[in-house]
Amino acid sequence: MIHCDLCFLDIRTLRMQRGGGNRDDFFGDPFRVFGRGVFGDHRCLVSNFFGGRNPFDDQFFKGNLLKVFVQIIEAFCLVGDCSPQIDLSIHSLLLSRYSNIFKCYLNMDVAHCYLDGNVDAVEFCPHEHFHHVLAAATYTLQEGDNPSRSGSISLFSVDAQTDSLEPFHRINTSGIFDIKWSPIEVNGGPLLAQADADGYLRIHSLETRSIHAEIGDSSLIEFGEEKVSSSMCLCLDWSPSATSISVALSDGSVSIINICEAKLNKQQTWNAHKFEIWATSFDPHQPELVYTGSDDCRFCCWDLREGPSKLAFQNSKIHTMGVCCISKSPSDPNKLLTGSYDEYLREWDIRSISKPVSENSIRLGGGVWRIKHHPVVPGLVLAACMHNGFAIVNIGGGNVDLVETYCKHDSLAYGADWQRGSLHKKDGRERSLVATCSFYDRLLRIWMPEIGIRLGNLIMFLRRITATSRPFVARFFTTGNNHPDLPNAIAELNKEMESVFGEPPCTNNVTSSNNIPSVPIAQETPIVTSRVNGLTHISSTGEAQMVDISSKEISKRVAIAGCKVILGKKVFDLVCANQISKGDVLSVARIAGINGAKQTSNLIPLCHNINITHLRVDLTLNEKDFSVDIEGEAASTGKTGVEMEAMAAVTIAGLTVYDMCKAASKDIAITDIMLKHKSGGKSGLWSMNR
């Protein structure tokens, strides 16, 4: 193997360089190890990828984005002394590193405010002259002897140039689950429909004295209402012509409501699912089709031309939890997206609905509650991810890529929408405007993601450069035969870079990439995988295995584990007073913990089924942080430890506390699951305190 000085490159030097008009080491000496002329005279690997010029001459690249390319250099350094047998994971390395960089600085906050109720939906008005109007809806459950569900709709004027979010109208209603503006104007103005907890579909008209009226002169006027059901209306969607609305209900049924001259009439109703329906959507390309998704893990397509119960197709095998949202692509008549409690965003082709388009549908780390397509950029999607904030995803060519996240909400992320109309110029770049809301903290935020056509192309390019370079990187440091694909790969990357930075400058004095000399590579050799030291559940071939304990000595083994469930003051007081509706929380959780420990080998695939000689689960109320402290102890005399049994006991007990209390509040956290103490066996005594 050829020795490579790149391995000893001081990356700190690169971080100090900013490349404005100077050709620093990032584009020079560090890559001379490949030999002068390998990429043309006075050229290097990186500058070749950028058409022979320094991309940092572009203002767009100055500043923190330099870190992205430093990560590329570091990735190349990591393989300097590596054997070509090793499977390089540069793509994953860079993605994990620069996604954190983007998360920290790219999105820009514009404004925020707190509402007087739990906000669960936000919608920008899509109609010309009203693009600045934002509607926010709330749903607040008043508990007690006579529980009630109240709500409101607040209208705001959003101005990105002055960073303002100004409320100008509000109406009180029953609790709202969903709102949507009409896709086209009706009777000369926008309509806003709401699905509420009283089983009503209510429609409001946005009235204004004139197009150029002051903010305070606009208001919502009742247009019409229809009692759909005694069950709660959970979601709705307008038909493309705004002549009908699909309403989904908590009893699993769907209703189609016709709108004619300010009158609402129920056209048809059918039982579509067994449980609550959280998603309903008209097909914008084929308005006779309606899609639904439910807690029964099914999503279905219904043909309204052939009766209310005519099922066009369904899929009940892919989603492992309830389907929360469905959205048809506005630009591709065959593409459809679904989001689920199972945390996956999936892309479907309705011509073949048996499985998603991509086998690697993206997991966003939280239940995908709402998805919105960008009004201008095809394939760019905004997602509300419940417990994991908000995400912007790029979808295309069978790939689903996470390109940006927003995590400045401290509660359930439910509502999200793009503003229509022209893009906004900030810092010399055009940006979209986004509204997001979260439930329990009652927070509404307006912000600008960095993602647009330009940066979207850049991120895709970065992923492309690492993916394309992967087969060649190890070979740069070895000897062997020539690789014929390298010039084509570099030429392709240069074309992609032009889509980000425009046409390259004149390069008459730069050697064409087609004249790249031979690059020595090594002969391929089989990959040999050895077991990682200390991981006894991995075999010599890298497969999972159950450890053979037949040769171990029999000894008494004890393990103690702990867990904490943070309830909050309200639920804590109810538990103390034994007023939880399901019964005695601590007693039930204690029994559940004991049962859970006895089922450990059934829950954890590679655990041995052992004879437990003792189990103890204690739950203690802690007034300092309004929590339940759980401690579990397990004992056995045998050939393997009981650590997993003790941890299973406290975990199941904690989950049971959550289940018993969730009706009173969803804002409960299970934390600090840990092993505190163990004894017996070859490793002997261990304690966290020691």
Q: What is the DSSP string of 34-93?
A: G-TBTTBTT--HHHHHTTTS-GGGSGGGSSTTHHHHHHHHHHHHHTTT--TTS---HHHH
Distance CA 121, CA 192 (A): 12
State residue 606's pLDDT score: 82
Give me the pLDDT at residue 1, please: 30
Average pLDDT over residues 101-109: 53
Instruction: Return the active site residues.
Output: 659
Q: Please state the rounded mean pLDDT for residues 25-44.
A: 35
Between 591 and 486, the more confident residue is 591
In three-state secondary structure terms, 340 is strand
Query: 535-574: buried (b, 16+ CB within 10 Å) or exposed (e) per residue?
Result: eeeeeeeeeeeeeeeeeeeeeebbbbbbbbbbbbeebbeb
pLDDT value at residue 485: 55
pLDDT for the residue numbered 547: 77
The domain segmentation of the chain, as residue ranges, is 5-105+458-515, 555-687
The pLDDT of residue 288 is above 50 = yes
pLDDT at 24: 36
How far, in Å, CA of 202 to CA of 181, rounded? 12
CA separation (Å) from 648 to 79, 560, 601? 41, 11, 10
Asked whether residue 562 carries a pLDDT value surpassing 80, the answer given is yes
pLDDT in tens, 481-524: 444 555 565 566 556 555 544 454 444 443 333 333 333 333 33
Cβ-contact 335, 398 below 8 angstroms: no
Tokens standing for residue 444: 């509404």
pLDDT at 179 over 90: yes
Percent of the chain with pLDDT over 90: 48
Please, which pLDDT band fits residue 105 given cuts at 50, 70 and 90? Answer: very low
- pLDDT at position 107, please? 53
pLDDT digits (tens, 9 = 90+) for 381-427: 999 999 999 999 988 766 788 888 898 998 999 999 999 987 777 66
CATH pick for 555-687 out of 3.40.50.720, 3.30.70.640, 1.10.3720.10, 3.40.640.10: 3.30.70.640
- pLDDT at residue 97 in the model: 44
**Angle, to 10 degrees, between the axis of helix 453-473 and the axis of helix 90-105?**
150
Nearest to 58 by CA among 519, 383, 454, 524: 454
**In Å, how far from its chain's centre is CA 491?**
34
In eight-state DSSP terms, residue 403 is E
Question: Cα angle vertex 128, ends 124, 131, to 5°?
Answer: 30
Q: Which amino acid does the sequence have at 358?
A: S
pLDDT grade for 609, boundaries at 50, 70 and 90? confident
Q: CA-to-CA distance for 446 and 430, rounded, in angstroms?
A: 16
Q: What is the pLDDT of residues 193-214, one digit of tens each?
A: 999 999 999 999 998 865 555 5
Contact 423, 432 (CB under 8 A): yes
For CA atoms 355, 358, 363, 367, give the dihedral sign: negative
Mean pLDDT of 367-373: 95
Rounded to 10 degrees, what is the CA torsion of 91, 94, 100, 101?
-140
Residue type, 141: L
Residue 26 confidence (pLDDT): 35
**What pLDDT, on a 0 to 100 scale, did the predictor assign at position 686?**
83
Give the tens place of pLDDT for each residue, 41-88: 333 444 444 444 444 444 344 444 444 444 444 444 444 333 333 333
Structure tokens at 460: 């895709």
Note the pLDDT tens digit of each residue in 638-662: 888 899 999 999 999 999 999 999 9
List, in order, residues 6 or more apart from 493 with CB less than 8 Å away.
Answer: 49, 461, 464, 465, 468
